[in-house]
Amino acid sequence: MKDIITLAIESSCDETAVAILKNGREVLANIISTQIETHKKFGGVVPEVASRKHVENIDIVVQEALDKAEVGFKDIDVVAVTYGPGLVGALLVGLSYAKSLAFTLGIPLVGVNHIEGHLSANYIEHLELKPPFITLIVSGGHTHLVEVKDYGRYEILGRTRDDASGEAFDKIARAMNLGYPGGPIIDKLAKKGNKDAIDFPRAYIDDSYDFSFSGLKSSVLNYLNGKKMKNEDIVVEDVAASFQEAVVEVLSNKAIKAAKDKGYDTITLSGGVAANSRLREKIVELSKGIEINIKYPPLILCTDNAAMIGCAGYYNYINGVRNDMSLNAVPNLKIGER
């Protein structure tokens, strides 16, 4: 059987990323041009700036990926591209480039859901992994608990009702003037703090798999404001550790519960917050003795990248998904939607 070479493009937020994969799981190149330093001074991503940076970077990143993989355009069999969810201007840059490339080369165009891309990152790292399993997708914009029934077939068991977990990390980091992005900073500080110092609330919504982090965020902000009004010292390491523990405890417990309820022996983590060291520790702790395997990708595949998009695109492709030139950006695309 002929090898299938996929060129994948990801531009949903502030990373211009291009990857080239063979048969969906073998990464030949995974190039990421990040804009973090550009957006740091704003305390978050500025959509218009992100779009302009994508326009400036995409040609360079595509060529770098081809060079790294030691392939030419003539070797590409399919173009995969993120078309949602994300920032509409940023999505349109990658989508327009992918369309022109597929049209010029006369090869199929396959649109990829960014959230499905995140869960597919585990297929690259764990070659033995195959559906069905439970996945916890946690990032700056998304917190989903999903039953993966097959490649491209999903059932959402739970989602956040307000803030995404990564969004909560960023907001608390901003409130303590720690910088952006907040997740890695809080993770680092928490290692020096006492996770039991402050009893922040854990939100468990009835018997639901849904999440809520707005109450926790408000509790942390009230704690910080109360300390400031009383002119009391704030131990940022303890705040970081206690807040982080409240988040990862709920995420881990819900994922373990879903796996037990549904009878699965595998849980995967994906998305930017899957890089959090305490989340990885906590869910592994809870899985001990109950025969549930925990899998997660390396750090480079947790944050936005094109390798995960190429993997998801490959499985879309072999399942018969093809898109024409009318494919448009869908900034609020939900998982499982086409």
Q: Are residues 86 and 114 in contact, defined by beta-carbon separation less than 8 angstroms?
A: yes
Beta strands 133-138 and 266-270, pairing class: parallel
Q: Per residue, what are the HEC states of 146-166? A: EEEEECCEEEEEEEECCCCHH
**131 prior amide bond cis, ω within 30:** no
> Nearest CA to 218 among 230, 234, 195, 200?
200
User: Of 257, 179, 279, 171, which Cα lies nearest the Cα of 215?
Assistant: 171
Residue type for 63, please?
Q
The phi, psi pair for 235, rounded to 5°, reads -90, 95
Instruction: Give dist(CA 20, CA 18) in Å, integer.
Output: 7
Q: Which residue has the tokens 């550009």?
A: 38
39 is in an annotated binding site: no
Annotated binding-site residue? 170: yes
187 marked as binding residue: yes
Annotated binding-site residue? 140: yes
Annotated binding-site residue? 276:
yes
Any known ligand binding at 60?
Answer: no
C-beta of residue 266 within 8 angstroms of C-beta of residue 293: yes
Q: Is 141 annotated as a binding residue?
A: yes
Tokens of 212: 């809520």
Spatial CA neighbour of 82 closest among 316, 269, 306? 306
In order of 103, 151, 166, 192, 222, the CA distances from 24 in angstroms are 21, 12, 28, 40, 47
Is 114 assigned a ligand-binding role in the annotation?
yes
Residue labelled with tokens 């990564």: 166
Which of these, 86, 149, 92, lies nearest to 113 by C-alpha position? 86
E strands present in 248-318: 266-270, 293-295
How many residues belong to the chain?
338
Instruction: List, as residue ranges, the binding site for Fe cation.
Output: 114, 118, 304
Instruction: List, as residue ranges, the binding site for substrate.
Output: 137-141, 170, 183, 187, 276
Instruction: List, as residue ranges, the binding site.
Output: 114, 118, 137-141, 170, 183, 187, 276, 304
